[in-house]
Amino acid sequence: MTLTANKTKQSLTFEEFITQLPDEEGRYELVDGEIIRLLPTRKHNNVAEFIADSFKAEVRRLELDYRVSSQIVIKTLTSEAQAQGRHPDVSVVNRSIWDSNLSAYTALLEPLQLAVEIVSTNWEDDYIDKVDEYQRLGIVEYWIVDYLVIASRNYLGNPKVPTIFVYLLDEVGNYQFTAYQGTQKIVSRTFSELVLTVEQILAA
């Protein structure tokens, strides 16, 4: 995924970011007061759509009270209390939160149930910054999908292999993670009956 900075004259607030989102193709995030354009590759989109479709199938099958979307922007805070605008590749939100204000834009201030980020060249954002921000916001479950094997060996081991990390909030609000590889079945707190392996996702 390619990132380009859309330079602004001054540091934007989250509210200004939402009202100034460009119309051009791509996804956008507010990072350190600047609008950043995210341009995913076709493979990146394939992986995200496969995961979203898998989640949607579980929602329909079990009649769960969730909405699955790739269009949701969320407001997060850094450790310095700076507002960021994040756009996960896949978002799962409680339908009651979504339906509470249907006339609003797709930006949310409430925590998602589950966020998925597909790792690209800016992998530190997903592994470091977003882990911190999503934990602080209270997102219950966070997936990092590193199909490109792009993160450091500190995360992926040696030799590096494609890995999906599932972060879950513990009882005191801190993330604990499990790494999944190959034919391992991914265990999700949100979708407890989900049958999905890393290999299936990579095949997307």
User: Tens of pLDDT along 18-77?
Assistant: 888 776 667 899 999 999 988 889 999 999 999 999 999 999 999 999 999 999 999 999
Joined together, the tokens standing for residue 96 give: 């009651």
Beta bridge partners of 45: none
Q: Give Cα separations from 11 to 17, 34, 100, 200 (angstroms).
A: 10, 6, 30, 42
Residue carrying structure tokens 């890393």: 198
Per-position b or e across 82-96, b if 16+ CB within 10 A of its CB:
bbbbbbbbbbbbbee
- Which pLDDT score is estimated for 8? 45
Tell me whether residue 8 is in a domain.
Answer: no
Short-list 135, 149, 73, CA closest to 106: 73
Tell me whether residue 16 is in a domain.
Answer: no
Tell me whether residue 19 is in a domain.
Answer: no
Is the Cβ–Cβ distance between 151 and 132 less than 8 Å? Answer: no
What is residue 94's three-state secondary structure?
Answer: strand
Tell me whether residue 7 is in a domain.
Answer: no
Short-list 55, 33, 47, CA closest to 1: 47
Tell me whether residue 59 is in a domain.
Answer: yes
- Which pLDDT score is estimated for 9? 52
Is the Cβ–Cβ distance between 17 and 30 less than 8 Å? Answer: yes
First to last CA, the chain: 17
The domain in which residue 172 lies consists of 41-202
Count of domains forming the chain: 1
Is the Cβ–Cβ distance between 115 and 134 less than 8 Å? Answer: yes
d(CA 139, CA 137): 6
193 C-beta neighbours (distance < 10 Å), count? 8
Task: Tell me the CATH number at 196.
Answer: 3.90.1570.10
State pTM to two decimals.
0.91
Tell me whether residue 91 is in a domain.
Answer: yes
Q: What number is the average pLDDT over the span 87-96?
A: 96
Is 3's pLDDT higher than 70? Answer: no
d(CA 101, CA 105): 9
- Which pLDDT score is estimated for 163? 96
Tell me whether residue 169 is in a domain.
Answer: yes
- Which pLDDT score is estimated for 12? 92
AA letter at 193? E
109 C-beta neighbours (distance < 10 Å), count? 11
Tell me whether residue 186 is in a domain.
Answer: yes
Is 136's pLDDT higher than 50? Answer: yes
